[in-house]
Amino acid sequence: MAMANETEQPVTQAVVLIVGSGAGGGMMAYQLATSGVKVTLLESGRMYDSAVETAMFSPVSDAPLRDMGTPDKPAGFFDATIGGGSLEEEPFTTDEGTEFRWWRARMMGGRTHHWGRQTPRYGPDDFKVFSNTGREVDWPVSYEDVAPYYDRVEEIVGVLGPDEKEAVHNSPVPPNHIRHEPPAPRASEMLFAKACEKIGLKTHAHPTAILTRDKGDRSACFYATNCIRGCSIGAAFDSVTGFIQPALKTGNLTIISHAHVLQVLTDASGKKATGVLYVDRETETRREVQAKVVVLAAGSMQSCRIMLNSATDKAPEGLGNSSGMLGKYVSDTLFTNISVQLPTFVGLPPHNEDGISNRTFMRLVN
């Protein structure tokens, strides 16, 4: 049960309180702080500065096990993420015989230090699935409603993509005045494109949140390091570099790190959020922040978990759960892996083609 100040610690007052500093929370903090709103951000993990902490240039020989994955660093020692598939303090269960890896980051910037930076847009048909197929439901908004916001986000984040003339049905790309030019395809990509051409498929550079020209304090990519480790020059987008730091510069953003939120607190009606209860992970004490507005951006599943954990006698099934749907039909990042070996490249001398790390995806169009 959520109870008002059960903490006996001084209560912090905030105007807008945001829980989580990843893609969602970072964007919210940036948008509000740069619009002049006072924002307090609570993040479960520690502060992280990509400019100084990213192991961009370290050779694998400097890492234990030559940077191979381990249970606590599943994507390798030099991966920027603090966290991974299993977090000791946040266990979860799965049904017998099923496997589910819930990949989480606990750090300022969340999963944006590790994500693939692939930024496809939904197309017009994706908003009208029921009308087009008779399945699922149509969105209450259309692509045309959302397109200006895509433009705006892509401008803030910085996205490379193909010439807009190359866009095909239902796969819109950033307009030319916003996009960054994509780098030349690398040898493996050219080989792949050639193979696709043979079966009548066209390829083009996939929209990706990487700068190929300088943008404010952030520099253009120099195509030589592994983006999964993060990017100390700010070419690859992460929430700290792209959102949190510019928001801090406005003087409107206050950050409380190591703050793991347990519950949203509500008023006597049980309907209006009045703040949150969190655990200060460093001192292991419970604390409270009161706020006019509470924004949950702790990741889709973790936000649901907090709302379920915020049950009161007025809302016994959890906050905002009168339908009983809270926590059901939720989507998160899913993984699948395919590895191939291309004999054409075996034994070739090392080369350094232009391209982005090992993850320039190509979109197939027919």
Ligand X SMILES: Cc1cc2nc3c(=O)[nH]c(=O)nc-3n(C[C@H](O)[C@H](O)[C@H](O)COP(=O)(O)OP(=O)(O)OC[C@H]3O[C@@H](n4cnc5c(N)ncnc54)[C@H](O)[C@@H]3O)c2cc1C
Binding stretches for ligand SF4 (CB under 6 A): 56, 210, 221-225, 227, 231, 233, 235-236, 356-357
Cα–Cα distance for residue pair 136/84, rounded to 1 Å: 32
How many chain residues touch ligand X (CB under 6 A)?
34
Q: In angstroms, rounded to a whole number, what is the distance separating the alpha carbons of residues 160 and 150?
A: 14
In the bound state with ligand X, the residue whose beta carbon lies nearer, of 55 and 261, is 261
Q: Which stretch binds ligand X (CB under 6 A): 51-59, 157-165, 199-207, 296-304?
A: 296-304
- Residue 298 binds to ligand X (criterion: CB under 6 A): yes
Burial (CB count <10 Å: 0-12, 13-18, 19+), residue 262? middle
Say if residues 82 and 88 touch (Cβ distance below 8 Å): no
- Residue 13's binding partner among ligand X, ligand SF4, none (Cβ under 5 to 8 angstroms by kind) is none
* Reduced 3-state DSSP string for 82-125: CEECCCCCCCCCCCCCCCCCCCEECECCHHHHCCCCECCCCCHH
Check: CB of residue 365 under 8 Å from CB of residue 168: yes
How far apart CA 181 and CA 171 sit, in angstroms, is 18
**Binding of ligand X by 118 (CB under 6 A):** yes
Q: Does 45 bind ligand X (CB under 6 A)?
A: yes
Q: Shortest distance, CB of residue 179 to ligand SF4, whole angstroms?
A: 16
Tokens of 66: 């030559």
17's contact among ligand X, ligand SF4, none, with CB below 5 to 8 A by partner kind, is: none
Distance CA 11, CA 120 (A): 42
CB of 111 to ligand X, least distance (A): 4
Residue type (1 letter), 303: S
Nearer to ligand SF4, 165 or 351 (CB): 351
- 30 lies in the binding site for ligand X (CB under 6 A): no
The correct pick among 78, 115, 223, 243 for binding ligand X (CB under 6 A) is: 115
23 binding ligand X? (CB under 6 A): yes
| Contact flag: residue 21 with ligand X (CB under 6 A) | yes
The footprint of ligand X (CB under 6 A) covers 19-25, 42-45, 103, 105-107, 110-112, 114-119, 259-261, 297-300, 302, 306, 333
